Structure 1
Amino acid sequence: MAKKKLIKCKNCGEEWIPTDVPTKKEWNIVSPMPDKQGNVTITRMATWDCPKCGKNRTGAKAKTKGEFKEEETPKYKIEHAISSGEKFNIAVLAEEIGFDIESIKKIIPMYLKKQNIKGKIDGDFFIPG
């Protein structure tokens, strides 16, 4: 089991495990930058009343790593498919990212204009040009 860091009261010096004393308020803080492996640290913050003197104390209750890879986002998959320069089936792309075909057909022209890429939609296929 992981070692838990104790919360210490700055007023009286009392120490307690974050899960032993009920919290008054809790919230999450997400780190703005991922680490080298692409993981984002999510910190669960909380406020407690010291069980001995009643003074308010704020600290980290728990930390966890969340893995968020850019390659898995719908935006990345659409941009990659368009910029690859290869003909692709819009229906296959739509199914892969969980969008309907009509939405993809509306999104593609926006990306073409934004990225200054030439191409056209022919039926259910995107043909680069």
Structure 2
Amino acid sequence: MSKQPQLKCPKCGSNEVDVEKTWQLVSPLPDTQGRITITIMGVVKCRRCGYKWRGVVSKLKVGGRTVEIEGEKTGKVIESGEEPRPPKEIVLDIEDIMNEE
């Protein structure tokens, strides 16, 4: 799990920032562990110099057997107590396919 840095003003370098508005971006493809990444984007404003910018507020990876939360103050993994589901097995006989044509 990668730790995301704390939000800092790109203009003055201050950590005194407020998130004014947020929205979600959902990744269309899962990662190698089958989890979907939900990125929380936001409009951030510096209290010291008044500069506004858009950036990543936090990330959430959902699916598989874990939920991973990455953010400026969190970085935890929540394990689910469920056992993984076995994959469905599909068996095809080539002779049956050839006879249908």
**Partner residue of 1:54?**
50
- Percent of aligned pairs with the same residue? 37
Question: Matches of 2:46 and 2:18 in 1, distance apart?
Answer: 10
Please point out which of 27, 31, 34 is paired with 2:27: 31
RMSD: 2.7
Q: What are structure 2's unaligned runs of at least 5 residues?
A: 65-87, 93-99
Q: String of CA shifts for 1:37-57, please: whole Å, max 9, x gaps.
A: 211110111111101000002
Q: TM-score, normalised by structure 1?
A: 0.43
> Between Structure 1 and Structure 2, which shows a larger proportion of strand residues?
2
Structure 1 unaligned blocks of 5 or more: 69-79, 86-117, 119-129
Query: Could you list the runs of 4 or more consecutive aligned residues of structure 1 that deviate by over 2 angstroms after TM superposition?
Result: none
More helix by share: 1
Higher-Rg structure is 1
CA distance in 2, matches of 1:22, 1:14: 11
TM-superposed deviation, 1:61: 1.4
AA matched with 1:55: Y
Q: 1:23 to 1:57 in 2, by over 3 A?
A: same
Q: CA, structure 1 residues 25+5, in 2 after alignment: closer, same or farther (shift >3 Å)? A: same
Whose RCO is larger (CA < 8 A, sep 6+)?
A: 2
- Paired residues, number: 67
SS in 2 for 1:45: strand
Alpha-carbon deviations, 1:45-100, whole Å to 9, x = none?
111110100000222111111217xxxxxxxxxxx9xx989xxxxxxxxxxxxxxx
Show CA shifts across 1:12-61 (max 9, x none): 11124xxxx44221000111221112111101111111010000022211
